[in-house]
Structure 1
Amino acid sequence: MENLRECFDPAEWAALCAASPDQPMAQSWDYGQAMAVLGARVRRFVFGETIAQVLERPGLRLVNRGPLGPRAGPMLRRLARHWGVTLATPEHALPGWGRMPLITPRHQAIWRLDPDADAMRGNLSAKWRNRLLRAEERGLRITHGQVASLNELLTAEAIQRQQRGYRALPGAFAIHWPGEKLLLEWREGGQMQAGMLFLRHGAWASYHIGWASDRGRAVFAHGPMLWKAARILSDQGISTLDLGTVDSANPGLAHFKLGTGAELRALGPTVWAVW
């Protein structure tokens, strides 16, 4: 019978993640490292070829976008063998018993990056492709941002978050992210008008935050910026770009993400694991 054990070796964890067809950021070693710096208690468990990175509080275990592997259901039941509550949002709905659904599935935009740029451009929606072409014809110069640009982007996005009332990881998470980052920006008149930050994890990357001024939105700056990011990441060997949650509360953002040709994927429902 397989034993549930903790993993303390980043190389072993990376290899187990690489064996999974899904590599969400929340199950990456770097995510755990950044969360630990922010004060979270992070534990990583292995059950045969199945893994789960867990955030723990007194009496509570949280598994976000996991477990990953062929025995995710049985692993959740093993994780539930402690005195508190174990909550999980699996990457896919899990068959079998031992899970009480609490929250209906959320949806993610998962963009498969094609090494062939022409083929990938052909998968864009007609409206998205036409807006991208017009932005390119205007000659928008998308550049790599530096450390000062990251701080500027985080500050602008924090103000935007407060104004719009949405929740996200704190800006300090991006600062403490130990892995590879891709920061792109567009400036006009010396001022940042739009920016996007992407975080790499294994063969996947995730769109983390974005911000645009009124001017940036007017010229569709995020279109060529996202396109450039996708081509850079593809050239670096990244196969999949997670564009984040898609919901009806923000239809404009949903159309922007799905206009890339990204797959609308339903995650598993959030469940209370029992054994």
Structure 2
Amino acid sequence: MDRSSAAGSALEKTLRITEALAEPGGPHRLTELAAATGVPKSSTYRILSSLIQQGYAVTDGEGSYGIGLRLRTLAAEIGAERPAGIVELLQFLQRGTGQAVQLALRSGDALTCVRKIESSQPFRTASRVGVRIPMHSTAVGKAVLAHLAPAEADAVVRAAGMPALTPRTLTDREALAEELGAVRARGYAVDDEENEPSVRCVAAAVFDRAGAPVGAVSLTTVTFLTTRAELERFTPALLEAARGVERLLRLG
């Protein structure tokens, strides 16, 4: 086999494995991916290791693999080019509420901001595209944690810790578990000065086809401009936007 044929074969295997990672029902086991793609397990493992290094795949360290943040971000970029793409949808939400809008996607035991539309108000929050976001102290993080299996949520919290970022940050796992129950009951999460002083946020989870939370959409304001009750009145629009993001990412 000449060099170009070998390269083509390697590329074809990588693409097949990437497509298999994106199939519903993930995360996927190594043996499942090898069987689904027809690629030997040893080659599948090497390709997955490379994809993980590049951010296109993630692993739980116990033999399960899923699509990574870089691949999800690429999907968001593609969706944003559509007539009714992600950026346009988030901009529509921002115009309708006047609040800062953010899309964050899960990356291991934290989230990463992949889109942000600033508020029409004269304020800016610390979050920006590319910044990693803690789970326990943010609305986007609690929206995701609330819909993970309890054991997985606990593992994420244990791995990341629960540092006090403000006097209002939840630092007790039992208190956080109670709060996550409230998130599930009302359908959205609230960060009331838990991550940044004077910053208030509501968020709704974004789910994949299998019903697993992969990120969240949020609305953010400052406490001296918008009360919690005023911010929560925007949650119907927030929830609708989260469902739209799911469709555009081809996750829902």
Q: Structure 2-normalised TM-score?
A: 0.31
Q: Structure 1-normalised TM-score?
A: 0.30
Larger helix percent: 2
